[in-house]
């Protein structure tokens, strides 16, 4: 399990545990509802932050992938050019021998 998944599961567990604890706490319903509402808002904020983090990471990985593809493409083109030069040289050598 990755660290991000661990913290996400941990956050969900804490939120669920807090909600259950609030439901069984000896206090007024109004106060409990306010606390639950606050917990839901906090969970929403956490999920929004997690979504933003994931979006940033996806964009970063996308850019890194594009750079790797360009780099690899350049290396392949260089190798093909060199192989073509070798083949042409071999053909010329073979023609001169015939």
- Give me the residue label for tokens 């929403």: 44
How many folded domains does the chain comprise? 1
Give the residue from 98, 95, 81, 4 showing the smallest Cα distance to 50. 4
pTM: 0.49
Residue 69 dihedral angles phi and psi, to the nearest 5°: -65, -45
Please report, in tens digits, the pLDDT of each residue of the chain (98 residues total).
677 788 888 888 888 888 888 777 777 778 878 888 898 899 889 889 999 999 999 999 999 999 999 889 989 898 888 888 888 888 888 888 77
Q: Encoding tokens for residue 19?
A: 């909600």
């Amino acid at each position: 399990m990755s660290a991000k998944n661990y913290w996400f599961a941990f956050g969900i567990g804490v939120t669920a545990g807090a909600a259950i604890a609030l439901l069984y706490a000896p206090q007024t319903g109004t106060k409990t509802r306010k606390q639950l509402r606050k917990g839901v808002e906090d969970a929403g904020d956490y999920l929004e932050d997690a979504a933003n983090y994931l979006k940033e990471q996806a964009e970063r990985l996308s850019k890194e992938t594009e750079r790797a593809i360009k780099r690899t493409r350049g290396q392949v083109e260089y190798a093909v050019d060199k192989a073509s030069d070798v083949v042409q040289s071999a053909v010329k050598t073979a023609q001169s021998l015939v």
